Amino acid sequence: MMKKNNIYYNTKIESLLKAYPNSKFFLITDDNLFSLYQNFLTTTFANVDLSITTIPEGEKAKTIKEYQRVVELLIKAEIRRNDVIVAFGGGVVGDLAGFVAATILRGVTFINIPTTLLAMVDSALGGKVGINSEAGKNLIGAFKNADKIIVNEQFLKTLPQQELINGYGEIVKAAFISDRTIFSLLTDDQPSLKLIKKVQKVKLALVKSDYFDKNKRQYLNFGHSFAHAIEKESNYQVPHGYAVFQGMEIALKIGMVLKITTPSDLRLLEKYFSLYQIKPYQKPYFKLLKYLKNDKKNTQELTTLILIKERALIKTMKEVELDELLSLASEL
């Protein structure tokens, strides 16, 4: 289960490291972040025994090959059970570093320092870590809670606009599935800490109610079956948050076909497509079918979708045959 009070906001990282007096720290970040934050990292971790490992930027790092490379490097560096793995980066870094922390030596302490909006509001929370398979996204993984999650707004100031929009995909999702007051806080500018905390609250409440993702936690997957398929189909050229926007549109259209989602919800989403200059998925929806079949939420021959019902805070999970539905939805 998630630990209580393990998220620290705008806190000096140095002060939190004192909780591990006899540990070595193995920091994992990507090549780009290391070049941007090398001085910051060496200063922040100056008083501890630190080893830094860099990985390639982007989803291409979430592979079995890269995972094995990192594990072997850490073993050669004599990592021990009382040592700490630190993720410094976005969702890819957190997913890979967390999976290493979950599996190396059967598990070591894990600290996550998310540096993107997307990671702060979503991937750093909830304990899901993992890597991609050739068949699809996040098909190899584990549950591993971070001992500490350090959310520092200063990292958002260096993010390009595209990365902020990438995070807004998950924020809009949280508003749809749980708390529509989030919509009133949405802008196309720097997000407030109040907004970040509201979105985190949505995710953490669902995680608490269903840690191992058997029931209500699946509401967090609204739009994600399609988003992961879009990412895979594009060879990860479409960023995750953008794919979530497109996936939510497809899910809303399917809900309309099934007469459980109202057109007003689709119009609401289209407002944010316009605000963030998101393009709808422009290929025939059936092209996503082969990737949807490998979705990790599927059971036997059935596909689980998260659909929005009647603009209420009600979520409907429905197992359906998708061929005909995708055809009908693409005509809306």
Selecting from 2.40.160.50, 3.40.50.150, 1.20.1090.10, 1.10.760.10, what CATH number does the domain 162-329 have? 1.20.1090.10
Token readout for 116 is: 């993107």
Question: pTM of the entire structure?
Answer: 0.92
CATH class of 7-157: alpha beta
pLDDT > 90: what percent of the chain? 78
pLDDT of residue 313: 44
Length of the chain: 332
Instruction: Please give the pLDDT value at position 135.
Output: 87
Tell me where in the chain the CATH 3.40.50.1970 domain(s) lie. Answer: 7-157
The list of the chain residues with pLDDT below 70 reads: 1-5, 296-302, 310-320
SS3 138: strand
pLDDT, residue 314, reads: 45
Whole-angstrom CA distances from 310 to 5, 56, 238, 253 are: 35, 43, 30, 13
CA distance 82 to 170: 34
Residue 318: what pLDDT?
61
CA distance 236 to 77: 32
Bridge partners (DSSP) listed for residue 84: 25, 109
Question: Where in the chain are all domains bearing CATH 1.20.1090.10?
Answer: 162-329
Please report the pLDDT score of residue 312 as a whole number: 47
